[in-house]
Amino acid sequence: MAIASIELSQFSAFADAEIDFSPGINVLVGANGTGKSHLMKLAYGTLRTFGVGRGRSTLKPVQELESKLAELFQPDGLNVGRVVRRRVGKGGLGGGNNRATVDIAFVRGGHALFTLHTKGPQHVRLQTTPRARLGTAVFLPPHEMLTLGSAFVDLAREYEVPFDATYADAAAALGRPALKTRPAFIRDIETRLLASLGGEVIREEGRFYVRLRGGGKMEAPLLAEGLRKLASLIRLLQNGSIRRGSVLFWDEPETNLNPILTNTIVETINELATHGVQVVLATHDYFVASRLSLIGQKRPEKGRRRTRVRFIGLAVPDDSDADGTVLESPGVLVHEADQLEALPEALLVKALIDHADFERSVVLKGALDR
Amino acid sequence: MAEFQESGWTLDFDDTAWTRIVKWDDDPCYRQGIERMKGKTRRRLRGCGLPRCHWRNGSDELVDEGTRAVDFAAIGPGRIPWLVEVKSLRGDTATMPIEERAVDIAAKVRDSLCGVEWARPRSAGFVPSPDLQHVRRALGRATTVRVLVLFDDLRPGSRTQTLALQAKLRELLIWLRGDVVVYGHQELPGELGLAVS
């Protein structure tokens, strides 16, 4: 069940924001500290609380939501009220009981509407729950979890570890056994990814290995991190964690990948989106964003659906007026567009231009050592 | 093949791909038409806002409001209208930042669309060539326009300059709903039907 929209008030860096999501690929772009990861964790935490991956919990939904958000954001004292937006002055943090409002709408699934409070016995108050049980959600953090495996899941369950819940959840999802039968589109994607990896992903006694095409097997920790990420994706496809109707959150998929593997991953994301997987990713990479932008504009091949790509640009506005007076920040500005270039002042384009200008200044000054 | 000289380069357009080509910035309809609109306007610039800065309250500056033109307006590959601009990294503008260069080319595209649209037979002294009339009609019907910029890269193997220029131009020309492609002179794809020497 895909996310249709998210409305936020006083949450994290957002003052008031309304963001529409595409059922296909959603690309979050913006500088550090603009709330990309917080937005993804919020949506993921909600989906996990009301989704089929919830399991047999004895907690009430509101307790489970509070606990999940606390595990994801890891605030001091696991007080999720700390993700309420902090304002300067009277009524700000340390003042009254500030609150944030979150309203997440799902396609054909109703809403999850809740408030977060800085004070009080309960930091989360649930007002509306989704009409139906939501689909599965997977969150892939920037670094791979294949090497930590099931031992990490046990550790995170028993002890306070300095990793947010996305890591333990990803490790737990990887630990599931492979499905006996898999849809044709998953098998196609798997075949292509296995060719890039150079072998099969196997699990023996809780540890992952790659059985190499040329013979022999290599334990996951000896693989390059980029290849481990690829192997993780293959595993999640094989065991049905990523399937039609699920939502895949991926924070900086390009981290530790070589540029060719990055393109393979982007093409895989496109394949998944055309087969009903909603993807929400955050990137700082111009080539990832630009390629996804072109994929969204490309005329689909005969018999195939166009991938719907939405760019969500987050930016912190200039907080001073013309005479230099510092104003209270209006919160992160949200811009939505169907292509990268339509976002105002895209940071990724700026970085590319900055590099081109630097190259020109060095070359034209004759400052390169020959 | 139709051969043109531009910015020190010789451009050979293959006539199977490029059916109509107008050297727009030399065309009489440009020279005697929209190019005649020249002048300067006074613009108020925002001050930097810093205390004690004499620019704090802003200043006035005369800004050139002249009309510009792309080098070629044509019907090219795909039988659709193309606007072609040739840029060289040599000469006075070598140090121009990418963003300024992109704004300069985008303004040429804007002015050229306006100028070509107005280039209709209006008087004895203002008769567009048959090629220009074809290009104008194609632009009127088109749902997409391709903008091709030929641009040098500074170092062999580097596409930084062309990529950055292409990215900024796509941002500036988003309203065009067209395609903007920037190629180095040495890396033109064969299907473009254009050779530069």
Terminal C-alpha separation, chain B: 14
**The predicted structure's pLDDT at residue B126:** 77
Q: What whole-number distance in Å separates Cα of residue B140 and Cα of residue B103?
A: 24
Nearest-neighbour CA in chain B from A344: distance (Å): 8
Task: Give the pLDDT band of residue B50 (cuts 50, 70, 90).
Answer: low
Amino acid at B184: G
């590959």: which residue's tokens? B77
Q: What is the pTM of this model?
A: 0.84
Residue A92 has pLDDT above 60, yes or no: no
Residue A363 three-state SS: helix
**The predicted structure's pLDDT at residue B70:** 96
Nearest-neighbour CA in chain B from A107: distance (Å): 30
């070589």: which residue's tokens? A258
Residue A41 has pLDDT above 60, yes or no: yes
Nearest CA in chain A to B176: A342
Cβ atoms of A47 and A292 closer than 8 Å? no
User: Is some CB atom of chain B closer than 8 A to the CB atom of A364?
Assistant: yes
**The predicted structure's pLDDT at residue A360:** 80
Chain A hits for B49, Cβ within 8 Å: 320, 322-324
**The predicted structure's pLDDT at residue B112:** 96
Average confidence score pLDDT of chain A: 86
Mean local confidence (pLDDT), A158-170: 84
Which H helix or E strand runs over A15?
strand A14-20
Residue A233 has pLDDT above 80, yes or no: yes
Residue A205 has pLDDT above 70, yes or no: yes
Chain B hits for A353, Cβ within 8 Å: 97-99, 164, 167-168
- Measured in whole angstroms, the distance separating CA B121 from the mean position of its chain's CA atoms is 24
Cα angle, residue B18 at apex, residues B152 and B172 outer, rounded to 5°: 50
Average confidence score pLDDT of chain B: 85
User: Is some CB atom of chain A closer than 8 A to the CB atom of B163?
Assistant: yes
Mean local confidence (pLDDT), A95-114: 87
Mutation target among A359, A365, A369 for the B interface, most CBs of B within 10 A: A359
Interface of A with B in 324-343 (CB under 8 A): 324, 339, 341-342
Inspect the interface and report whether the beta carbons of B155 and A290 lie closer than 8 Å.
Answer: no
Write the residue in B95, B99, B174 that is nearest to A341 by C-beta.
Answer: B174
Residue A23 has pLDDT above 80, yes or no: yes
Nearest-neighbour CA in chain A from B163: distance (Å): 8
Helix, strand, coil shares of chain A as percentages rounded to 5? 35, 25, 40
**The predicted structure's pLDDT at residue A368:** 63
User: Is some CB atom of chain A closer than 8 A to the CB atom of B158?
Assistant: yes
Chain B hits for A286, Cβ within 8 Å: 167
Cβ atoms of B115 and B34 closer than 8 Å? yes
Per-residue pLDDT tens for A25-39? 999 999 998 999 999
Size of interface A-B (CB pairs under 8 A): 61
Chain A hits for B46, Cβ within 8 Å: 322
CA–CA distances in Å: residue A67 to residues A52, A85, A166, A299, B25: 17, 19, 13, 44, 67
Cβ atoms of A273 and A307 closer than 8 Å? yes
Residue B8 has pLDDT above 70, yes or no: yes
Chain B hits for A290, Cβ within 8 Å: 167
For A3-136+258-364, CATH number? 3.40.50
Inspect the interface and report whether the beta carbons of A323 and B171 lie closer than 8 Å.
Answer: no
Mutation target among A340, A355, A358, A360 for the B interface, most CBs of B within 10 A: A360
Inspect the interface and report whether the beta carbons of B97 and A346 lie closer than 8 Å.
Answer: no
Q: Token pair for residue B20?
A: 């109509």
- Find, among B16, B3, B12, B27, the residue nearest to B135 by Cα: B27
Nearest-neighbour CA in chain B from A36: distance (Å): 22
User: Is some CB atom of chain A closer than 8 A to the CB atom of B170?
Assistant: yes
Chain A hits for B99, Cβ within 8 Å: 353
Cα angle, residue B59 at apex, residues B56 and B64 outer, rounded to 5°: 145
**The predicted structure's pLDDT at residue B49:** 55
Nearest-neighbour CA in chain B from A364: distance (Å): 8
Task: Give the pLDDT band of residue A326 (cuts 50, 70, 90).
Answer: low
Cβ atoms of B63 and B145 closer than 8 Å? no
Per-residue pLDDT tens for A246-275? 999 999 999 988 888 899 999 999 999 999
Inspect the interface and report whether the beta carbons of B174 and A342 lie closer than 8 Å.
Answer: yes
Inspect the interface and report whether the beta carbons of B155 and A359 lie closer than 8 Å.
Answer: yes
Chain A hits for B174, Cβ within 8 Å: 339, 341-342
Which H helix or E strand runs over A112?
strand A110-117
Write the residue in B94, B160, B165 that is nearest to A359 by C-beta.
Answer: B160
Inspect the interface and report whether the beta carbons of B164 and A356 lie closer than 8 Å.
Answer: yes
Mean local confidence (pLDDT), A70-91: 79
Determine phi and psi for B55, rounding to 5 degrees.
-90, 0
Nearest-neighbour CA in chain A from B50: distance (Å): 7
Percent of chain B's residues with pLDDT above 70: 86
Per-residue pLDDT tens for B103-133? 999 999 999 999 999 888 877 677 899 999 9
Question: Which of A182-191, B11-20, B27-36 is least confident?
Answer: B27-36
Residue A185 three-state SS: helix
Residue A20 has pLDDT above 90, yes or no: yes
Question: Which of A67-76, A251-260, B35-44, B101-110 is least confident?
Answer: B35-44
Per-residue pLDDT tens for B65-77? 889 999 999 999 9
Task: Give the pLDDT band of residue A158 (cuts 50, 70, 90).
Answer: confident
**The predicted structure's pLDDT at residue A85:** 87
Sequence-distant (6+) residues with CB within 8 A of B111 are B34, B67, B68, B69
Task: Name the most confidently modeled range: A45-54, B3-12, B66-75, B157-166.
Answer: B66-75
Domain-wise residue ranges, chain A? 3-136+258-364, 143-242
Nearest-neighbour CA in chain B from A368: distance (Å): 11
Question: Which of A98-112, A266-280, A346-360, B5-19 is least confident?
Answer: A346-360
Residue A322 has pLDDT above 60, yes or no: no
Which H helix or E strand runs over A63?
helix A61-73
Residue B43 has pLDDT above 90, yes or no: no
User: Is some CB atom of chain A closer than 8 A to the CB atom of B168?
Assistant: yes
**The predicted structure's pLDDT at residue A25:** 97
What is the Rg, in whole angstroms, of the alpha carbon atoms belonging to chain A? Answer: 22
**The predicted structure's pLDDT at residue A103:** 95
Nearest CA in chain B to A345: B171
Q: What whole-number distance in Å separates Cα of residue A58 and Cα of residue A52?
A: 15
Mean local confidence (pLDDT), A166-180: 90
